Structure 1
Amino acid sequence: MSRIFTQIFYVLLLMCTINVAAQAQSITVSGTVKDKQSKEGLAGVSLTIKGQSGGTASTSNGSFSFTTTAKVPFILVASYVGYGTVEQQVTGSTSGINLEMETAVVLGGDVVVSASRTPERILESPVSIERMSAASIREIAAPSFYDALNNMKGVESSTQSLTFKSINTRGFNSNGNTRFNQYIDGMDNQAPGLNFSVGNIVGITELDVDNVELLPGASSALYGAGGINGTLLMTSKDPFKYPGNSFQFKTGINHVNDDNSKVQPFKQLDVRVARSWNNKFGVKAAFSFLQAKDWFGNNYSNFDRVSRTAKSGDRNSDPNYDGINVYGDEVSQNMRNVALSVQNGTIAGINAATGGLIPNIKSTLDGAFGAAIPNAAQQAGFLATLPAALRPTVQNYLPFYVGLKAGLIPDQNISRTGYNEENLVDYDTKSLKASGALYYNISNTVQVVGQANWGTGTSVYTGSDRYSLRNFNIGQYKLELKGEDFFLKAYTTQERSGDSYISSILGSYINEVSKPSTTWFPQYIGNYVGARAAGQTDAQAQAFARSVADQGRFVPGSAQYEVAKDKILNTTISATNINSVDPSKSVYGAKFDDKSNLYHYEGMYNFTNLFNKVVEFQIGASYRLYDLNSAGTIFNDLNESIDIKEYGAFAQIGKKLFNDKVKFTFAGRYDKSQNFEGRFTPRVTGVFTVAKNNNIRVSYQTGYRNPTTQNQYIDLSVGGGSQRLIGGLPEIMFSKYHLDSNKPFTDVSYRAFLASAATGTPNQALLQQYTFDSKGVRPESVQSYELGYKGLILPNLLIDAYGYYNIYKDFITAVDVYQNVNGSFVKFGVPVNAAGKVTSYGAALGLDYLVGKYAISGNVSYNQIGDLPENYINDFNTPKIRYNLGLGNKEIIKNFGFNVSYRWQDQFYWNSSFASGQVPAYSSLDAQVSLRIPSVQSVIKLGGSNVLNKYYFTSYGNPSAGAIYYIAYSFNP
Structure 2
Amino acid sequence: MRHIFLTTWLAVLCLTQTFAQTVLTGTVTEVGTNSPIPGVNITVKGTNIGTATNRDGKYQLAVPGPFPLTLVASFVGYARQEIVVNNGTSVLNFSLAESAIVADEVVVSASRVEESITKAAVTVERLGARQFANSPAANPFDALQNLKGVDLLTQSLTFKSVNLRGFGANNNNRFVQLTDGMDNRSPGLGFGFGNVAGISDLDIESIELIPGASSALYGPDALQGLMLTTSKNPFTYQGLSAQVKVGANNVGKANFGPKGYYDVAIRYAKQFGTRFAFKVNFQRLDGTDFIADDYNDRSTSARTNFWAVDPNRGNVATGVGYVPNSNRNANFEYDGVNIYGDDINAGGAFRFPANFTNAALQNRLVTRTGYTELDVLGNNGKVFNNRANVSLHYKLGRNVEASLGWYYGNGNLIRTAGFREYFPNYIRHQFRAEIKGENFFVRAYTTRQNAEGWNIGQTAAAINNAWKPLGTATTGWAGDFAAAFAANGGQLEAARQAANQGRFMPGSSQFNDIRDQLANTYNNVRIASLGRNGVRFKDNSTMNHFEGMYNFTKHIKIAELIVGGSFRRFLLATGGTALPLNADGSEYTINEYGAYAQLSKEFRLGSIGLTRQPITFKPTVAVRYDKNQYFQGGFTPRASGVLSVGPHNFRGSWQSAFRNPSPGQLFAVPPTGQGGEVGGSSVAADRAGLNTNRAFLGADVNDYVAGRITADQLTARAYDPSRFTTEKINTWEVGYKTLINNKLFIDGFYFHSRYTDFIAAQSFFQLLTPGGGPDAFRTPSNYRTLQVNFNNFNEIFVNGWGFGAEYVLGRGFALSGNYARQVGSITLRDAQGNVRNNRAGEPIVNRRMSDPDVAQLGRNFFISPENRYNISLANPRINGGNLGFNITYRWTDKMWVEQGTTAGDIWLPSWTSLDAQVSYRLPVAKSVVKFGGANILNKYYSQGYGLAQIGGLYYVALTFDELFR
Q: State the TM-score, normalized to the length of structure 1.
A: 0.87
Whether the 8 Å contact between 2:481 and 2:498 is mirrored in structure 1 is no
- Partner residue, 2:873: 887
1:87-166 correspondence to structure 2 within 5 Å: 87-88=82-83, 98-166=93-161
Paired position in structure 1 for 2:311: none
Partner of 1:503: 456
Partner in structure 2 of residue 375 of structure 1: none
State the Cα distance separating 1:193 from its structure 2 match: 1.9
Cα distance in structure 2, aligned partners of 1:573 and 1:8: 36
Do the aligned partners of 2:467 and 2:504 also contact (CA within 8 Å) in 1? yes
One-letter code aligned to 2:341: G
Q: Which residue is 1:634 aligned to?
A: 578
Q: Which residue of 1 aligns with 2:832?
A: none
- The 3-state SS of whatever aligns with 1:510 is helix
1: CA distance between counterparts of 2:358 and 2:394? 86
Change (3 A) 1:411 1:51: closer
Aligned partners of 1:438 and 1:450 also within 8 Å:
yes
Specify the alignment match of 2:633 in structure 1.
678
The root-mean-square deviation of aligned C-alpha atoms, in Å, is 2.5
Name the CA distance, whole Å, in 1 between partners of 2:372 and 2:80.
Answer: 57
Cα deviation code 1:185-235 (max 9, x no counterpart):
111110112211112111122211111111010001110001111111111
2:793 paired with 1:835: yes
Q: Which amino acid aligns with 1:325?
A: N
Report how far residue 99 of structure 1 moved.
Answer: 4.1
Q: Is contact 1:408–1:529 with CA below 8 Å preserved after alignment?
A: no
Contact 2:287 2:383 (8 Å CA) reproduced:
yes
Q: Which residue of 2 aligns with 1:768?
A: 715
Q: Choose which of 657, 678, 681 in structure 2 pairs with 1:729.
A: 681
Quick check: 1:912 aligned with 2:899? yes
**Which is worse superposed, 744-753 or 898-907?**
744-753
Partner of 1:687: 642
User: Aligned partners of 1:250, 1:501: CA distance in 2, in Å?
Assistant: 31
**Taking structure 1 as reference, are residues 95 and 933 closer, same or farther at Cα in structure 2, changes over 3 Å only?**
farther
Query: 1:275-333 CA deviation, whole Å, 9 max, x = no partner?
Result: 11223111011111111111111122323666277752342123333222111123245
2:764–2:787: 8 Å Cα contact kept in structure 1?
yes
Contact 1:849 1:857 in 2 (8 A): yes
Whole-Å Cα distance in 1 between the matches of residues 519 and 482 of structure 2? Answer: 36
1:874 aligns with 2:847: no
Is 1:593 the equivalent of 2:538?
yes
Quote the offset at 1:887 in angstroms: 1.3
Whole-Å Cα distance in 2 between the matches of residues 756 and 701 of structure 1? 46
- Classify 1:544/1:448 alpha carbon distance in 2 versus 1 (closer, same or farther; 3 Å): same
Secondary structure, counterpart of 1:952 in structure 2: coil
Q: Deviations over 1:3-62 (max 9, x none)?
A: xx6236414421332232xx3333433344333544443321212223322222222233
Pair 1:87–1:937, CA change in 2 (3 A) = same
Between the aligned partners of 1:509 and 1:830, the Cα distance in structure 2 is 23
Deviation at 1:77, TM superposition (A): 2.9
Choose from 256, 259, 262 the match for 2:257.
262
Partner of 1:368: none
SS at match of 2:540: coil
CA distance in 2, matches of 1:752, 1:847: 49
Match of residue 951 from structure 1:
940
Q: Determine if the alignment matches structure 1 residue 327 to structure 2 residue 340.
A: yes
The 5 Å alignment of 1:816-855 reads: 816-820=763-767, 821-822=769-770, 823=772, 824-852=782-810, 853-855=812-814
Which amino acid is 1:446 matched to? V
> Deviation of residue 627 (structure 1)?
1.4
Please identify which structure carries the higher helix content.
1
Structure 1 745/89 Cα, relative in aligned 2: closer, same or farther at 3 Å?
A: closer
Q: 1:765 to 1:47 in 2, by over 3 A?
A: closer
Q: How does 1:544-943 map to 2 (within 5 A)?
A: 544-577=494-527, 584=529, 586-612=531-557, 614-637=558-581, 639-659=585-605, 661-689=616-644, 691-716=645-670, 723-733=675-685, 735-755=686-706, 764=711, 767-773=714-720, 775-820=722-767, 821-822=769-770, 823=772, 824-852=782-810, 853-869=812-828, 870=836, 871=857, 873-893=859-879, 894-913=881-900, 914-943=903-932
Unaligned runs of 5+ in 1: 341-402
- TM-score, normalised to structure 2, is 0.88
Q: How does 1:41-60 map to 2 (within 5 A)?
A: 41-60=36-55
Change (3 A) 1:324 1:221: same
* Cα shift readout 1:480-520 (whole Å, capped 9, x = no counterpart): 1111111111111112114x221012212222332333499
- Distance (whole Å) between structure 1 residues aligned to residue 793 and residue 519 of structure 2: 40
Change (3 A) 1:241 1:70: farther
Question: In 1, are the aligned partners of 2:581 and 2:588 still within 8 Å (CA)?
Answer: yes
Contact 1:496 1:596 in 2 (8 A): yes
The answer to whether the Cα contact below 8 Å between 2:481 and 2:499 also exists between their aligned partners in 1 is no
In the other structure, the counterpart of 1:476 is: 430
Map 1:179-198 → 2, pairs under 5 A: 179-198=174-193
| CA apart distance, 1:764 | 5.0
Contact 1:743 1:770 in 2 (8 A): no
Instruction: Identify unmatched segments of 5+ residues in structure 2.
Output: 307-321, 606-614, 773-781, 829-835, 837-856
Q: Which residue of 2 is the match for residue 429 of structure 1?
A: 383
Q: Give distance in 1, aligned partners of 2:184 and 2:485.
A: 59
* One-letter code aligned to 1:318: N
Going from structure 1 to structure 2, the CA distance change for 1:756 and 1:65 (only over 3 Å counts) comes to same
Where 1:509 maps in the other structure, the secondary structure is helix
- Post-superposition Cα deviations, 1:928-957, rounded to whole Å, max 9, x if no partner, equal 111111111111111111111111111111
From the superposition, tell whether residues 96 and 118 of structure 1 become closer, same or farther in structure 2 (CA, over 3 Å).
Answer: closer
Distance 1:850 1:529, change over 3 A: closer
Distance 1:511 1:923 in 2: 39
Equivalent residue number for residue 388 of structure 1: none
Partners of 2:16 and 2:397 within 8 A in 1: no
How far apart, CA to CA, are the structure 1 residues paired with 2:894 and 2:349?
36
Q: Within the alignment, does 1:415 sit opposite 2:367 as a pair?
A: yes
User: Identity over aligned residues, as a percent?
Assistant: 34
Work out which of the two has the higher radius of gyration on C-alpha atoms and give 1 or 2.
1
TM-superposed deviation, 1:918: 1.5
Secondary structure of the 1:201 match is coil
Q: Distance in 2 between matches of 1:661 and 1:76?
A: 25
2:57 to 52, 57, 62: 62
596-605 vs 418-427, which moves further: 418-427
> Contact 2:472–2:478 (CA<8 Å) still a contact in 1?
no
Q: Please give the secondary structure, in 1, of the residue aligned with 2:748.
A: strand
Is it true that 1:203 corresponds to 2:198 in the alignment?
Answer: yes
CA shift, 1:102, in A, is 3.3
Match of 2:854 in 1: none
Task: Indicate how the Cα distance of structure 1 residues 525 and 605 shifts in structure 2: closer, same or farther if over 3 A, else same.
Answer: closer
Cα distance per residue 1:113-157 (max 9 Å; x no partner) = 111111111111111111111222111111111111011111112
**Distance of aligned partners of 1:826 and 1:81 in 2 relative to their CA distance in 1, 3 Å threshold:** closer
- AA at the equivalent of 2:814: A
